[in-house]
A and B are shown apart, each in its own frame.
Chain A
Amino acid sequence: MEAYLDNSATTRAYNEVASLVAKIMTEEYGNPSSVHHMGMVSGERLSQAREDIAATLKVEPQEILFTSGGTESDNLALLGVAKANKWRGKHIITTAIEHPAILETTTALEKEGFDITYLPVDETGVVQLEDLKSALREDTILVSMMFVNNEIGSVQKIQEAGELIKAYNSDIYFHVDAVQGYGKFVIRPRSMKIDLLSVSGHKIHGPKGIGFLYIKKGTKINPICYGGGQQKGMRSGTENVPGIAGLALAAKMCYENFEDKQNKLYELKEYLIKSLNERLSDIKINGPACREGAPHIVSVSIKGLAAETVLNMLSSKNIYVSAGSACTSNNPHISDTLQAIGLEKDLLESTIRISMSFMTTKEEIDYFLDTLCSQVENMRKFYRH
């Protein structure tokens, strides 16, 4: 038996996606910029993918820009908007629990003279709208906020935040890192007042190395790489057509029977949380209440155990989860998110993240629960204090 419960790290590609990618790589490998027939075929794949993805968000196809994934999308959104709008102001707002693709980029922008406000979160990992409201300033040009937190699954009040920002000043751009949210929630950039939205392919059963950035028409943004002028000069480089087509297919498949799938995932999550609470003592489920958070992420701290030990034990039984915080004796980096929600110090190293997908089965969850619960007490005996 195997249980892959690390879907926030990456997912297994849909078989249909893998076949499509292979087919395009071996049969329709033309460069979409070429004017001959092979190029045209690729070009059509590209426009079809754009349309399919735009349809999942109810936006225009030309508002979809393909990138290499979440990190590039986040970088482009922040650096591109900062560069194009710095004459208006140099203040950017983000949150304390963003992915490093945001936090490292804002750190770089700080060095270039930008002023960054990091909004705190409550103990469930949610930004308070009052905090956002009081952080907005005359020179604010951009707010960047993640849809779903990758470590604890908290969901931000994107709709309310978008309305609040635009009510304050409609010129402030609103970027949402939806790498963990897209495919798990219905996202409507128009009604949510989102100007830029980052998405990654391999988190939604698509290929690695592909993603997109939704850029609302009229957004002032500069490119961050230059070259042959593909994608209207905003992102030069020959388009990764197989990846793009695979991404579009994965996106389409994720949003088929969506409510049904989302609901089933919530039921699985409920079952997982309930079982953990019933079967283990001295544990803490982090993040918001089940249905208030994302349907696929459960963060649990197991008192008196090192996450690394749990991970190794599970891995030896073909069960794959992540540590809630990348932290070992030699590497004192503690998760920003877990610290931001005020998790007790002795639980920081004892936190694991179970992340599911639409492919996860109840059998896998049971196998995980049985294995973990049978070993916890034994492992607790040998915890280094």
Chain B
Amino acid sequence: MQYHAFVIKYAEIGVKGKNRYIFEDALVKQLKRVLAKCDGNFIISKVAGRIYIEAEGFDFDETVSQLQTVFGVTGICPAVSIARDGENHLPDVDGVAKAVLDFIDGVYPNKNKTFKVKVRRVDKSYPVDSMEMAAELGGRILDAFPEMKVDVHEPEILINVELREKLNIFSEIIPGPGGMPIGTAGKAMLLLSGGIDSPVAGYMVAKRGVEIEAVYFNAPPYTSEKAKQKVIDLAGVIAKYTGKVKLHVINFTDIQMYIYEKCPHDELTIIMRRYMMRIADILAQKSGSMGLITGESIGQVASQTMQSLMCTGEVVTDIPVYRPLIAFDKQDIVDISYKIDAYETSILPYEDCCTIFVAKHPVTKPRADIIRKHEENLVEKIEELMQTALDTDEVIEITK
């Protein structure tokens, strides 16, 4: 089937009242961004609560897979589109019927299906109204394809016929990612490790229209350049959806070693994570981020028990910490990781800073008062070390 256009469906944006145009404009901007990467010429138009993409010389699979990375899109409907004639007339009833029959024949080789025709007559000057047109087309379809049956309640095929600037016919709806368009919410700072969870957490928050900035804690020479490259690649996975990710690479080695020297080893991970949160907090506030994002999930590891979460969370007081995976099972997280093509990268076997110094039996029920007390051992140098870490922040802009 040769399609000429896509009808883009979006859900929540449609109900945002007076702000609706902001959301639609953001969606159009994102659509433009991804279509710029595809072969072909595209014209995006926003008419009467619909976004249309007229397409020419395009590769169907490439275009659809790109459109599927745009948050806010709930459905992508490939459409046949027929222009008005020289006298600015839409096709007459016979013309519309022929186009619909050709469409059905092209898209559904197997006619043994139930169907319904839905007509929208946006151009009210068209001489036949929606109901009449639907009835007429239904009859012609039954005549042409006797195997097909009408079912107005749960049809297998819903044939949409739109009489507007052009005649549009579409039936299939390819699911989009849903969510809200990037640029409609604000920005948040993702604590990105090389694991499976944090990229998924970033993806999920981004899906609500949130721009993502990320911070990675590097621990050379205990972690390798390959581990860092892996994190850059994972930030790239998120950037595929958001357009860009600004990644901060913080050299954490000296802080980690200082904690290792001064604090009980079974509390190492907790204290380390508290300092990661503190640094991320500072970076967030500097960059105008309105929250932190972590990939934590209750009970997944020792540092993510409820007690541990309380301990690591308490150091961030001015902005919220978003934990979109908090109630997810590992398998659910893995499923999303697969879906967004992060999994293969996430499982590459490089040490990250959290696995390097991990104690054999890390504390699982840390008490904040005790942890705070042990952190006092760090008072001499920690401020200076944190400042150095922030001063040597390496910023990498990842654009997709």
Residue positions of A touching B, CB distance < 8 A: 306, 308-316, 328-331, 379, 381-382, 384-385
Cross-chain contact A312 with B224 (CB below 8 angstroms): yes
Nearest A residue (CB) for B256: A382
Q: Which residues of B contact A384 (CB under 8 A)?
A: 356-358
Counting from the closest, the 6 A-B pairs by CB-CB distance are: A313-B221, A330-B349, A312-B221, A331-B349, A312-B224, A328-B349
Q: Which residues of A contact B356 (CB under 8 A)?
A: 382, 384
Cross-chain contact A312 with B220 (CB below 8 angstroms): yes
Given A382-B257, A382-B260: A329 in contact with B355 (beta carbons within 8 A):
yes
Nearest B residue (CB) for A311: B224
A-B contact pairs, 29 of them (CB 8 A): A306-B222, A310-B221, A311-B221, A312-B220, A312-B221, A312-B222, A312-B223, A312-B224, A312-B225, A313-B220, A314-B221, A315-B221, A315-B224, A316-B221, A328-B350, A328-B351, A329-B349, A329-B351, A329-B355, A330-B349, A379-B221, A381-B257, A381-B260, A382-B222, A382-B257, A382-B260, A384-B356, A384-B357, A385-B360
Expressed in whole angstroms, the minimum distance between the Cβ of A313 and any Cβ of chain B is: 3
Count of chain B residues with a beta carbon within 8 Å of a chain A beta carbon: 17
Nearest B residue (CB) for A317: B221
Nearest A residue (CB) for B253: A382
Nearest A residue (CB) for B356: A384
Expressed in whole angstroms, the minimum distance between the Cβ of A289 and any Cβ of chain B is: 31
Q: Which residues of A contact B358 (CB under 8 A)?
A: 384
Cross-chain contact B349 with A316 (CB below 8 angstroms): no
Expressed in whole angstroms, the minimum distance between the Cβ of A345 and any Cβ of chain B is: 16
Taking a contact as CB atoms closer than 8 A, the residue among A308, A310, A381 that contacts B351 in the complex is A308
Cross-chain contact B222 with A309 (CB below 8 angstroms): yes
Expressed in whole angstroms, the minimum distance between the Cβ of A367 and any Cβ of chain B is: 17
Inter-chain pairs besides A313-B220, A385-B360, 15 sampled, C-beta below 8 Å = A311-B221, A311-B224, A312-B225, A313-B221, A314-B221, A315-B224, A328-B349, A329-B349, A329-B355, A330-B347, A331-B349, A382-B257, A382-B356, A382-B357, A384-B358
Residue positions of B touching A, CB distance < 8 A: 220-225, 257, 260, 347, 349-351, 355-358, 360
Bound complex: CA of A329 vs CA of B360, how far in Å? 14
Expressed in whole angstroms, the minimum distance between the Cβ of B349 and any Cβ of chain A is: 3
Cross-chain contact B257 with A308 (CB below 8 angstroms): no
Bound complex: CA of A331 vs CA of B224, how far in Å? 15
Q: Which residues of B contact A309 (CB under 8 A)?
A: 221-222
Expressed in whole angstroms, the minimum distance between the Cβ of A90 and any Cβ of chain B is: 37
Q: Which residues of B contact A313 (CB under 8 A)?
A: 220-221
Bound complex: CA of A309 vs CA of B353, how far in Å? 12
Bound complex: CA of A329 vs CA of B358, how far in Å? 12
Nearest A residue (CB) for B257: A382
Which residue, of B223, B224, B358, has the highest number of chain A Cβ atoms within 10 A? B224
Bound complex: CA of A315 vs CA of B349, how far in Å? 19
Bound complex: CA of A308 vs CA of B347, how far in Å? 18
Expressed in whole angstroms, the minimum distance between the Cβ of B170 and any Cβ of chain A is: 47
Expressed in whole angstroms, the minimum distance between the Cβ of A46 and any Cβ of chain B is: 39
Bound complex: CA of A328 vs CA of B230, how far in Å? 15
Expressed in whole angstroms, the minimum distance between the Cβ of A142 and any Cβ of chain B is: 35
Expressed in whole angstroms, the minimum distance between the Cβ of A335 and any Cβ of chain B is: 15
Expressed in whole angstroms, the minimum distance between the Cβ of A96 and any Cβ of chain B is: 24
Q: Which residues of A contact B225 (CB under 8 A)?
A: 312, 315
Nearest A residue (CB) for B260: A382
Expressed in whole angstroms, the minimum distance between the Cβ of B385 and any Cβ of chain A is: 15
Bound complex: CA of A59 vs CA of B225, how far in Å? 45
Q: Which residues of A contact B223 (CB under 8 A)?
A: 312
Q: Which residues of B contact A382 (CB under 8 A)?
A: 222, 257, 260, 356-357
Bound complex: CA of A312 vs CA of B353, how far in Å? 13
Bound complex: CA of A220 vs CA of B342, how far in Å? 49
Q: Which residues of A contact B355 (CB under 8 A)?
A: 329
Expressed in whole angstroms, the minimum distance between the Cβ of A385 and any Cβ of chain B is: 8
Bound complex: CA of A157 vs CA of B3, how far in Å? 70
Expressed in whole angstroms, the minimum distance between the Cβ of B390 and any Cβ of chain A is: 21
Cross-chain contact B357 with A316 (CB below 8 angstroms): no
Bound complex: CA of A330 vs CA of B220, how far in Å? 18
Bound complex: CA of A382 vs CA of B254, how far in Å? 11
Nearest B residue (CB) for A383: B357
Q: Which residues of A contact B351 (CB under 8 A)?
A: 308, 328-329
Bound complex: CA of A379 vs CA of B360, how far in Å? 19
Bound complex: CA of A163 vs CA of B32, how far in Å? 73
Expressed in whole angstroms, the minimum distance between the Cβ of B76 and any Cβ of chain A is: 38
Nearest A residue (CB) for B348: A330
Nearest A residue (CB) for B194: A330
Cross-chain contact A308 with B224 (CB below 8 angstroms): yes
Bound complex: CA of A310 vs CA of B220, how far in Å? 10
Q: Which residues of A contact B349 (CB under 8 A)?
A: 328-331
Expressed in whole angstroms, the minimum distance between the Cβ of A330 and any Cβ of chain B is: 3
Expressed in whole angstroms, the minimum distance between the Cβ of A119 and any Cβ of chain B is: 31
Which residue, of B221, B257, B357, B358, has the highest number of chain A Cβ atoms within 10 A? B221
